Amino acid sequence: MKKNKIQALRGMKDQLPIDITCYQKIERILKQVINSYGFSKIRLPIVEKTSLFKRAIGSVTDVTEKEMYTFQDRNGESITLRPEGTAGCVRAGIEHGILYHQEQRLWYIGPMFRYERPQKGRYRQFYQVGAEVFGLKGPNIDAELILMTARCWKLLGISHYLRLELNSIGSLETRKKYHNILISFLRNHITLLDKDCKDRIYSNPLRILDSKNPHIQELLKDLPPLKDYLDIESSHHFLGLCDQLDIAGIPYHINQRLVRGLDYYNRTVFEWTTNSLGAQGTICSGGRYDDLVEELGGTSTPAVGFAIGLERLALLVRNFNSIPIPNQIIDVYLITKGEKQNNLGLILSEQLRDNIPDLKLIRNSCEGSLKKHFTHAMKLGARFVIIINKDTEGAEELILKDFLNNTQKNIEKTNACSILTTLLRMHLTTHDISI
Ligand code: ATP
Ligand code: MG
């Protein structure tokens, strides 16, 4: 009896080879830009103690209340698959003493996990590229992070479809003061609030500001804006940031309702959003979190960072075909027919790999028809096929076929390796030669 198939968990997506070329291209561009701003890579565990996220993200946020993958390990300790990268990065920074009185620019890439309702652009396992800077308190670095993301969009050809939303949520004291204003305003309109907002009034009233419910947004029009309550240092910081963005020519939209979902932010918050992906339009978000290092047991250290959602970014790049995605998996497909020829093919392909380490070559002995191999080679994007065959006298014969120019020629057997090395090296540097 045929057994039931086991399928992937809901919201967990496989990335097949056909998707990977797009991701790799995007990741290469992001990495190049991030490196060019002097960041170092950090690799962090996927699981952490649950208490880390509760303390960092806040215990009354959507993420900690509803979205965490939390388990008990065999020792009965509560552990959680990381829902985001900042908390782990700060934990590691404190643990290894690399934040104390130092300037650090760190970046990471990897999977995050949130138990959310899966839909386009929203998965239970998704990938983020994140960057965090420690030890710098002025607005220059906030601006630099935004410029760095803007450069990524430019190189990915999607600047046109993205909009930068910016806000300052001030200091902890600002927010405390504003909470009271907000709570009394909401209490006066309690009958007009939806359940979500009612639940949030006392636990996390600031989150009501970015409610997706249009009635709530309409109601909030009469609320005095948070900027009227900003502390003076935060106002200066924000003006400094806006100045820098103006000087760099980066357009932005100040959005008084932007507060962000995680508790650790203060002062600058920002998001890059698009209208082209439906409801899941935020592809990058970030901000300042000057109190988090101390909150997690370190010495008070200013910090700012962002995270990019790679799936949403890839959807956008694909939507607009904004960069060429290579479909070439290999350069050369080598086919041999006969045992002696197979041995020659083995030696030749290893020599070619010695001579040209970047060369992508597949070797196959020809069991079916040559045509079948040609089709396979074309599907893999190969430019060349090398055929090692038996000639009419039974000796080995080498043929090089160029798919691009639709030509083929015989290669002299005794010099085959050096002729092919020269030719293929040229191909790899120019990707545009003929034989
Ligand atoms: P959203 O409002 O869409 O739920 P968020 O505020 O929860 O986003 P952050 O915690 O700021 O998101 O994460 C940074 C980025 O990671 C988001 O801007 C988004 O691009 C991506 N992201 C967040 N959650 C998911 C998810 N479940 N699936 C795919 N991408 C995600
Ligand atoms: Mg979310």
> Which residue owns the Cα nearest ligand 1 atom 9?
285
Q: What is the pLDDT of residues 13-48, one digit of tens each?
A: 999 988 999 999 999 999 999 999 999 999 999 999
**Which atom of ligand 1 lies closest to the CA of 123?**
28
**Domain membership flag for residue 119:** yes
**Domain membership flag for residue 135:** yes
Mind giving me the DSSP string for 110-145? EEEE-----BTTB-SEEEEEEEEEES--SHHHHHHH
Q: Do 291 and 415 share a domain, yes or no?
A: no
Q: How far is the CA of 161 from the centre of ligand 2 (A)?
A: 21
Q: Do 167 and 260 share a domain, yes or no?
A: yes
123 lines ligand 1 (CB under 6 A): yes
Q: How far is the CA of 116 from the centre of ligand 2 (A)?
A: 8
> Which residue owns the Cα nearest ligand 1 atom 12?
285
**CATH code assigned at 389:** 3.40.50.800
Alpha helices in 7-114, H assignment, sequence order: 17-36, 50-57, 62, 86-95
Q: How far is the CA of 177 from the centre of ligand 1 (A)?
A: 28
161 lines ligand 1 (CB under 6 A): no
Q: How far is the CA of 52 from the centre of ligand 2 (A)?
A: 18
Each residue's pLDDT expressed in tens, for the chain with a length of 435 residues? 789 999 999 999 999 988 999 999 999 999 999 999 999 999 999 999 999 999 999 877 888 888 999 999 999 999 999 999 999 999 999 999 999 999 999 999 999 999 999 999 999 999 999 999 999 999 999 999 999 999 999 999 999 999 999 999 999 888 888 888 888 888 888 887 888 787 778 777 888 887 888 888 888 888 888 888 999 999 999 999 999 999 999 999 999 889 887 778 899 999 999 999 988 899 999 999 999 999 999 999 999 999 999 999 999 999 998 898 888 889 999 999 988 899 999 999 999 999 999 999 999 987 778 899 999 999 999 999 999 998 777 778 999 999 988 999 999 988 999 999 999 998 877 665 556
Which mutation among 196, 282, 283 tests ligand 1's pocket best, with the greatest number of atoms within 8 A of CB? Answer: 282
> Which residue owns the Cα nearest ligand 1 atom 23?
309
Q: Do 82 and 56 share a domain, yes or no?
A: yes
Q: Do 275 and 347 share a domain, yes or no?
A: no
Look at residues 405, 393, 410 and name the one whose alpha carbon lies nearest to residue 431.
Answer: 405
Residue 393 labeled ligand binder? no
* Backbone phi and psi for residue 320, each to the nearest 5 degrees, phi listed first: -105, 5
Kind plus residue range of the DSSP H or E element containing 58? none
**Domain membership flag for residue 63:** yes
CA–CA distance, 389 with 335 (Å, rounded to integer): 8
Residue 128 labeled ligand binder? yes
How many angstroms separate the Cα of 65 from the Cα of each of 46, 70, 388? 19, 11, 64
Q: Are 97 and 299 in contact, with CB atoms under 8 Å apart?
A: no
Q: Do 271 and 410 share a domain, yes or no?
A: no
> Which residue owns the Cα nearest ligand 1 atom 7?
261
84 lines ligand 1 (CB under 6 A): yes
Look up residue 101 and give its two tokens: 């009185």
Burial class (CB in 10 A: 0-12, 13-18, 19+), 90: buried
Range of the domain at 426: 332-430
CA–CA distance, 326 with 311 (Å, rounded to integer): 18
Look at the chain and report how many structural domains it folds into.
2
Strand ranges across the sheet with 303-309: 40-41, 104-113, 125-134, 303-309, 282-288, 266-273, 163-168, 253-254
